[in-house]
Structure 1
Amino acid sequence: MKASKKKTKEFVKHSPAEALILFVNMGLTKKQYDILRESNPNIYPCYSIIKEAKKMCRREVFDHFVQNEIGHIELITKWGCDASQQSQFQQKFNDVTSDDSNIFQSSMVPLRLQVNTDNYTKIMWQNPTPSSVRFCRPIRIRFLHETVDVTKEEINYMENQVKNLRKTEVQTCNGVIQVKHTMIPTMVDGKVCNSSTNTSSTMKCYICGKTSKIFNDFQNKNVENPEALRFGLSILHARIRLFDTLLHIAYKLPLKKWQARTPEEKLIVKKTKQKIQREFKDRTRLIIDMPKAGFGNLNSGNTLDDFSVIMKQLQISQV
């Protein structure tokens, strides 16, 4: 009787490129990767090899430039600033006036590396996830509460830094190439835009300074503020705001009015809102339009993502 032999599973060692993809997609630090490699060094190459593979990726992009393109390379980056509240840490500051309950931060995200010549524009690299934190890098972090003055100061600081930017020199097989930097302040929310343009009311458009009542008055011509156009038209919260708008329309359907003024009308809107919230929870298990401790309400991007998945499942089940 022959003794049975168990077949041992063979693991193929990752190539440097495969290990680099794993390293980037999982967002690992050097220490985390080293711990992962210690579990099986026969599969994962050492970190120094990954580091060289990363350099080769950069060189590969720059080595594709031909001679007439070397002086026309541009890196487009978006930047912005925002604040958040957080729980205070137990560590003490050397400066007793400092407070870590509020953080105000400026960040940047590279969008596109391209060649601009007189005859054509060629994209060499484009950010596949421009709204993700994957390529987001902090510029300055300050322990400050977000106010109009702080926002203006930060925008002025950043714009002065952008004006003083010099071209980046990169050594390639074709020689030294220079990369021009173009930074646009489009990574902002409405609060930052209002502070920068001195728009005192959130009911006003920060571009033309008009309210919704005047938008439909075609006799009154809207004059745009050219300085406000540099912030672009952010779609960061477009889905959330659209969802909020549909909810508020549904709350006021029994009135057929946009605004409830009398106590009786306000009571009708309140009961309709409670009914819609209750049915949402019963049918989709989602809690909507409820205050959340610390910030805003539960109408977030995650809520909309869950709602989209539920609606797709319902559509599939009905087919």
Structure 2
Amino acid sequence: MLTVFTNEKIQLLCLQFSKRNIISSFNKRWKEAGRNKDVFLINNANWLDSEYSVTIPTSENVPTDPTPSSSTGKRGRPCVLYEDSSESSKRRKNTILLNEYGIDHILDAYLQGLRSIGEDLEAKLVEELRLSDAEKKTVLIKQFRNENIIKKLTDEEALSVFIDLDLTKAQYIYLKNVTDERNCFIFPPYYKIQDMKNTCYPPSSTIEIANTYAKNLRIQDLLDHTAARILSIDSVYKNGLQHLLLYSKWGCDGSSGQSQYRQKLPEESELISDANLFITSFVPIRLIDEESGAIIWQNPVPSSVRFFRPISIEFCKETPEKIKSVVDEIKTQILSLVPSIINKEGVGVQVKHELFLTMIDGKVAQVLTDTLSSSTCTICGATPRQMNDLTKVSERPENENAYQYGLSTLHAWIRCMEMILHISYNLSFQTWSATSEEKQRLKQEKKVQVQKRFREELGLNIDKPRQGTGNSNDGNTARRFFYNAACTAEITGVDIDLIKRLYIILQALSSGVMIDSKKIGIYALETARLFVNKYNWYYMPSSVHKILIHGESVINHFAVLPIGQLSEDAQESRNKDYKKFRLHHARKCSRIATNEDVFHTLLYTSDPYITSIRKPYAKIVKELDEETLNLLNVNELISDPEAP
């Protein structure tokens, strides 16, 4: 590109060029004189007295091409743009601007320039940094450099923390404000938590709320939503899978001793009140590929409340009529179920459903099998006086329809413990019941002695009533009771081999691993014979009889899943959560609002996707006994060594 210079510009350049030549010549002569003034004046007297002429060009003798030829000598340093200048030149030019305009003027011009090109976000950032104190500037610089950066929780992670810490809305907002004040912007605003909760509910049109109940109108909608949430877990869905099968367990249970709030209940009666709660629910257990049988997803804690999905909650007593009506209604809906169609990456995934009615206790099983007495076996109909005659019992016809109700493994621990305790209480007179005053006195004295020793030696409260919630005999107490078999045998006076064998059977049933039904059938029958030989005077309880005599048949009925994964633990544990949710997580302005909040809390705390990112339980894993391992499926233990 040809550059055209004006006459005045050329004259100025010539003067600058001549000036540089004089200075250069002077510096050279000054160095030769050794930087001595007298020597310089003597050696350069003629040069100093001579004239130095400069030719100033005019418009007539200005060449059209300003580029000097090689014969005219070297031109001065050309002017360059700022971005092409060296670092020292940039600093020099910057200093000129700072001295002329000042720092505030330049910063304001910079912010204005950013906004003029549409960089409003960068302008805000620069302005925020400019106005911050030294501490905040340090934090921001570290974040820019990714040093000790604080990562904000996603909405899903924040909800999982909300659930794990059992926070209320007020507590969450307080925690967020405290962290924000310290520049730790970890938690999203609460309205995003609320939005995330809404994704954990089936369509609102399928949920009905009233003064005395809250329920899903159609179990189909709840199953569809649950299947979709399971497939939302990153590690679950795989391309190409289109036909899946979801195994789940369901059941119902009543709970008494609930809190009675100052809320009007027009429908209140002997059967309907706040003091009684009846919950129906289901728990997803395993999702498999229907074609290959491969396990796509496995519930890691099938006995926990973490995947407990509520079907309905009602304020009513657990009566036989109520049990039958609820179970019949759910069974009718199950018969009309259709596969869930889930859209994954543009592909319609079909999920079929199979549900097992095993989350029940002995009382519900008794009602559903029309068994007249709780002490009568629901499978073969044997009475207490008949159960110790093993030969006749084994010949009795079995009601195979009763296999579907499982073994109630949680209550099995408790009933076996209570059997050992009652044998211990009656050892001094060796009859099934204390019919005389003397026997009652001896039984009470032994009971007090046993209770005291268990409290002193194992820290257990044995067979003591609890206000409004039955007694102290629960699953955890029973497990420690059998785990310390030697101490238990010494305190109770019951044969240690019987206690150990019951512990092995209960351990195998609760392991969550497939059991070798033939091996456990033989082992259980040997245990029953040991019981009869040692304590034939004490009638075997129906729950213990069901395990020892019919356990093999029930296990074979559930060939697709381990019997331990079909337990009722989750149902029993959730009854306690209702009190907490109603107290801390529900509005009290009306009964309908209370029921709605409690039902929603039950739903979002059991959402499969949210539960998958929650912090897992800190489990204390106990190794299974060698005898227990012998009763389990060896192939499954090899493929999943952490299964027990």
- Give TM class, smaller chain: 0.7 to 0.9
Show the counterpart of 2:179: 40
Show the counterpart of 2:151: 13
Instruction: Describe the shift of the 1:87–1:33 C-alpha distance in structure 2 as closer, same or farther (beyond 3 A).
Output: closer
Aligned-CA RMSD value: 3.5
Residue type of the alignment partner of 1:163:
L
Asked if 1:199 corresponds to 2:406, the answer is no
- 8 A Cα contact 1:81 1:105, kept in partner: yes
- 8 A Cα contact 1:105 1:142, kept in partner: yes
- In 1, Cα distance between equivalents of 2:382 and 2:277: 32
Instruction: Describe the shift of the 1:173–1:277 C-alpha distance in structure 2 as closer, same or farther (beyond 3 A).
Output: same
Asked if 1:78 corresponds to 2:78, the answer is no
Structure 2 portions without partners, runs of 5+: 1-134, 140-146, 201-228, 487-644
Instruction: Describe the shift of the 1:230–1:99 C-alpha distance in structure 2 as closer, same or farther (beyond 3 A).
Output: same
- In 2, Cα distance between equivalents of 1:100 and 1:279: 39
In the alignment, which of 113, 119, 126 is matched to residue 298 of structure 2? 126
- In 1, Cα distance between equivalents of 2:245 and 2:239: 12
Q: Secondary structure at the match of 1:237?
A: helix
In the alignment, which of 457, 460, 466 is matched to residue 292 of structure 1? 466
* Displacement after TM superposition at 1:44 (Å): 2.4
In the alignment, which of 90, 99, 105 is matched to residue 273 of structure 2? 99
Q: Secondary structure at the match of 1:114?
A: strand
Q: Secondary structure at the match of 2:294?
A: strand
- In 2, Cα distance between equivalents of 1:104 and 1:253: 39
* Displacement after TM superposition at 1:308 (Å): 8.1
Show the counterpart of 1:283: 457
Instruction: Describe the shift of the 1:219–1:285 C-alpha distance in structure 2 as closer, same or farther (beyond 3 A).
Output: closer
Asked if 1:224 corresponds to 2:433, the answer is no
- In 2, Cα distance between equivalents of 1:207 and 1:30: 49
CA-to-aligned-CA distance 1:169-217 (integer Å, 9 cap, x gap): 1111261111111111110000100011111111111112112433434
Structure 1 portions without partners, runs of 5+: 313-319
Q: Secondary structure at the match of 2:306?
A: coil
Using CA pairs under 8 Å that are at least 6 residues apart, name the structure with larger relative contact order, 1 or 2: 2
* Displacement after TM superposition at 1:13 (Å): 1.9
- 8 A Cα contact 2:231 2:237, kept in partner: no
**Structure whose alpha-carbon radius of gyration is higher:** 2
Structural mapping, 1:1-319, within 5 Å:
12-13=150-151, 16=154, 22-23=161-162, 25-26=164-165, 33=172, 35-41=174-180, 42=184, 44-46=186-188, 58=232, 60-61=234-235, 63-66=237-240, 69-71=241-243, 73-85=244-256, 86-95=258-267, 98-117=272-291, 120-173=292-345, 175-215=347-387, 216-219=389-392, 221-304=395-478
- In 2, Cα distance between equivalents of 1:56 and 1:227: 31
- In 2, Cα distance between equivalents of 1:36 and 1:121: 46
- In 2, Cα distance between equivalents of 1:180 and 1:191: 31
Q: Secondary structure at the match of 1:297?
A: coil
* Displacement after TM superposition at 1:25 (Å): 4.0
- In 1, Cα distance between equivalents of 2:470 and 2:283: 25
* Displacement after TM superposition at 1:63 (Å): 3.5
Show the counterpart of 1:317: none
- In 1, Cα distance between equivalents of 2:325 and 2:392: 38
Instruction: Describe the shift of the 1:240–1:219 C-alpha distance in structure 2 as closer, same or farther (beyond 3 A).
Output: closer
Q: Percent identity over the alignment?
A: 35
- In 2, Cα distance between equivalents of 1:57 and 1:168: 12
Aligned length: 302
Instruction: Describe the shift of the 1:242–1:116 C-alpha distance in structure 2 as closer, same or farther (beyond 3 A).
Output: same
- In 1, Cα distance between equivalents of 2:366 and 2:230: 44
Residue type of the alignment partner of 2:186:
Y
Structure 1 or 2: more strand by fraction: 1
Q: Secondary structure at the match of 2:429?
A: coil
Task: Between 90-99 and 22-31, report the one with greater CA deviation.
Answer: 22-31
Instruction: Describe the shift of the 1:11–1:298 C-alpha distance in structure 2 as closer, same or farther (beyond 3 A).
Output: farther
Q: Secondary structure at the match of 2:305?
A: coil
* Displacement after TM superposition at 1:34 (Å): 5.3
* Displacement after TM superposition at 1:289 (Å): 0.8
* Displacement after TM superposition at 1:233 (Å): 1.3
CA-to-aligned-CA distance 1:243-274 (integer Å, 9 cap, x gap): 21221122122234443333322222221111
Q: Secondary structure at the match of 1:134?
A: helix
- 8 A Cα contact 1:62 1:172, kept in partner: no
* Displacement after TM superposition at 1:37 (Å): 3.5
Q: Secondary structure at the match of 1:241?
A: helix
Residue type of the alignment partner of 1:109:
V
Instruction: Describe the shift of the 1:264–1:56 C-alpha distance in structure 2 as closer, same or farther (beyond 3 A).
Output: closer
- 8 A Cα contact 1:199 1:206, kept in partner: yes
Instruction: Describe the shift of the 1:304–1:200 C-alpha distance in structure 2 as closer, same or farther (beyond 3 A).
Output: same
Task: Between 90-99 and 144-153, report the one with greater CA deviation.
Answer: 90-99
Q: Secondary structure at the match of 2:234?
A: helix
